[in-house]
Amino acid sequence: MTHEVIRHLLDDYVTGELAEDARPAVAEHIAGCEICRAEVDGLQAVITRAAALPKSIEPPADAWQSIRATIERDKEAVMPDRDRSASVFWRRPSAIAAAIVLAAVLSSAGTALYLGARNDAQQNQNVASSVTNSTATASLAAFTIEENAYLRNVAVLQDMLDQQEASLAPETVAQLKASLRTIDEAILEARNALARDPANKTLIEMLSGSYRQKMDLMRRTAEMTRGS
Amino acid sequence: MKTSAVVADTIGPNPSTIGEEKAAALDTVRRAQAGDVDAFELLYREHSGRIYALCLRLQAGDTSDATELMQDVFIRAWRRLSTFRGDCAFSSWLHRLAVNTMLENARGDRRRIARVLPMEDTSRLEGAARSTSVDLRMDMEDAIATLPKGARQAFVLHDVEGYQHQEIAEQLGVSVGTIKAQLHRARRLLRERLER
Amino acid sequence: MLGVAVLLLVPSVLSAQKKVERRLALGMEGAIRISNMVGSVIVHGWDKDTVLVRGSLAPGDQLFSGGGYAGAKMFVESANERDPKPSRLEVWVPSRVRLWVKTATANIEVTGVNGGLDLYVVSGSIDVTGNPRELNAEAIDGDIHITATSPWVRAKSASGTVTFQGASSDAAFSTVSGPIKVTGGVFERTKIETVNGDITFSGHLDRSGAFDFDSHSGAIDIAIPTRTGASFSVVSIAGKITNSLSKTSPVAGRFGRGAELTLDANGGGAKVTVRTFKGPVTLRRAM
């Protein structure tokens, strides 16, 4: 074999991937060829150093948090065919049509509660604070905390809805489930985007907003079906 | 994988110890597959170092890109956990997933190209700095980061991680000949940069 | 605290729809709760310290009412809870009372009641006209239509439409998939959010106001009057921004998707923040 041919075999020769029967010819050539010898030495050095690189490098300490948050959210997402929201929440969907328990509506205790509760509701919904509170959750760390709170609240609200004795018309049930699904799909999309871009404050704010919307819808539904 | 590049993770001469360890590892995977996030965290703790190293080198030393990629890999791993059947080591499955994820992300985003270490900054390549092994390693990592993408991928996967040509070609969706050519190019460029 | 005197009506054997009429004394600053699940509830404000209700009840339904001068309540009880039939209530109340109405599918109409309004439907519609000092309207899949000026307004529906024509210093409108249409002005603090409904806003913005528009995939269309000063900050993760207010072009967002736009119209003023994941955003002049 000529020098020109052997030059192209040197890589495989060094890495041990060259066919057995070609090795002697290459070895012999190298012994007598300075250029090829230098080449082999250089290749050997690179390859040895590459193999000596650490196989494992410690990732940033906070990397796991974001992964965990995404996984927890995945677990909580209400997917279209998820059993939980289907059978348990609407216990008697077609048996009772458009019925709402009236007894609880009219207790005098309920009236007093209504009159007093109005102010609290108003304070919670102060637009001024919600317009400016976007900065509160703009950091990923703060958002993770908020997200965990959301996951707990959603679980509690889901239990509440599950426990309602009363039921709604099937069309309304379907409409409500569709709305929750719409919000969940939006949450999932934003989450995926956030996983690719964890420092994106806008995404964080959007996700916070979606969480609030979902909780608000569940809360108001629970209140409406419960009577007050 | 070539044995020379494989981390000796089967250290332990006692076959029954190995068997126990393997069984325990599989058990963790199964628990994670059943939805146990804490079990998945154990898997993360065990494998994230290797995956992060791979991501860091594939992403040309950019730590935030590498962290993002690594997070993507684990999220994907969680979502596809049910596809792991135990017919290979979990680390191999995860590794393969990491390479696939990197490729898909690279296709999906029009990301800025890898940061190139400015060659004017030769302070770390001077002879004196080479005396310690730590600095030698730094030189190598930096040099890999300067490689063009195709060459870098082939080099990291073959010479650092120990995949075979055929495996790499399959994963990257190119011919074995292309991989060999990229490797050749990578090694030449690295020699130039390291011997400066 | 409230003495509740409940009056029973003896159902008439002959009637199909049964007509009822009642009067209750109620102070001008009092509170009244009305509940009717199916049919309609129409409320008018007047300047007497009396509540007058005229009802047209479904066969077998009964109207219960009671209360004192500070607070009153009335509700329709269905003959058959499992299959309630429509009953209609028309009520006149002192115009400054706090009014609370709850229905399931019954529509609610309120005119000229200027105290605080709390209106809840599941799938009925809510229509409000007047100048309430506070207005909270909630529906699950009913529509909400408000023609009012009120310092404080909240209107939420999941899949219904929300329209507001009027003015408010503190307003928030929210849907999941229903459209939101807001016109009029002047608005001071306004928050409009949807997931995939379309938002249309054309109103007068107060110079010192703050306006938030949020959507996931719903379109956002903002039309501002020609000489209004406003400072816009628009961020879209994956959608398109169209600016007809000025020559400023949106800049491409990260990774080449989506867009961002910052602009001052007429020297700036009202702070308008628009965020969308992938809905199209249009900024333009009001006609």
pLDDT digits (tens, 9 = 90+) for B118-166: 333 333 333 333 334 555 666 888 899 989 988 999 999 999 988 888 8
Rounded to whole angstroms, how far apart are CA atoms C50 and B117?
A: 84
Q: Is residue B1 part of a domain?
A: no
* A172/C120 CB distance under 8 A: no
B45 plus B66 within the same structural domain: yes
Q: Mean pLDDT for chain A?
A: 70
Q: Is residue A36 part of a domain?
A: yes
A179 plus A217 within the same structural domain: yes
A122 plus A220 within the same structural domain: yes
Domain finish residue from B86, B115, B144: B115
| Domain ranges, residue A8 | 3-52
What residues of A are in contact with residue C104 (Cβ under 8 Å)? Answer: 98, 100, 168-169
Q: What do you get for the CA distance between the two ends of chain B, in Å?
A: 32
User: Between these two residues, A141 and B139, which has the higher pLDDT value?
Assistant: B139
Residue C259: predicted pLDDT: 92
| B67–chain C nearest CA distance, Å | 17
Neighbours of chain C (3+ CB pairs under 8 A): A, B
Q: Is residue B9 part of a domain?
A: no
ipTM: 0.87
Residue/partner pairs of A69-73 with CB below 8 Å, 24 or more apart: A69/A144, A69/A147, A69/A148, A70/A191, A70/A194, A70/A195, A70/B71, A70/B75, A71/B37, A71/B40, A71/B75, A71/B78, A72/A147, A72/A148, A72/A151, A72/B37, A73/A147, A73/A151, A73/A187, A73/A191
Q: Is residue A132 part of a domain?
A: yes
Option in A47, A58, A67 nearest B74 (CB)? A67
What residues of A are in contact with residue B71 (Cβ under 8 Å)? Answer: 63, 66-67, 70, 195, 198
B109 plus B42 within the same structural domain: yes
B106 plus B155 within the same structural domain: no
Question: What is the total count of domains within chain A?
Answer: 2
Residue C50: predicted pLDDT: 95
Q: Is residue A57 part of a domain?
A: no
B24 plus B104 within the same structural domain: yes
| B115–chain A nearest CA distance, Å | 18
- Quick: pLDDT tens for C202-252: 989 998 899 999 999 999 999 999 888 999 999 999 999 999 998 889 998
| Domain ranges, residue B146 | 122-196
B80 plus B140 within the same structural domain: no
- Quick: pLDDT tens for A62-106: 899 989 988 888 777 633 333 333 333 333 322 222 222 222 222
- Quick: pLDDT tens for B56-88: 999 888 888 889 899 999 998 998 888 888 778
Domain finish residue from B88, B115, B142: B115
B52 plus B75 within the same structural domain: yes
A42 plus A92 within the same structural domain: no
| C255–chain B nearest CA distance, Å | 6
Write the CATH number for B191. 1.10.10.10
pTM of the model: 0.55
B133 plus B80 within the same structural domain: no
B55 plus B138 within the same structural domain: no
Option in C31, C123, C191 nearest A172 (CB)? C123
Q: Which of B140, B182, B187 to mutate to test the interface with A (most CBs of A within 10 A)?
A: B187
Q: Is residue A190 part of a domain?
A: yes
Q: Is residue A82 part of a domain?
A: yes
Whether the per-residue pLDDT at C1 is higher than 50: the answer is no
Domain finish residue from B91, B115, B139: B115
Residue A8: predicted pLDDT: 82
Q: Is residue B8 part of a domain?
A: no
Question: What is the total count of domains within chain B?
Answer: 2
Q: Is residue A67 part of a domain?
A: yes
Rounded to whole angstroms, how far apart are CA atoms B24 and B185?
A: 43
Rounded to whole angstroms, how far apart are CA atoms B124 and B139?
A: 7
Interface subset of C 36-65, CB within 8 angstroms of A: 37-38, 64
B170 pLDDT band (50/70/90 cuts)? confident
Give me the total of CB pairs closer than 8 Å, taking one residue from chain B and one from chain C: 5
* B63/A68 CB distance under 8 A: no
A25 plus A100 within the same structural domain: no
Write the CATH number for B78. 1.10.1740.10
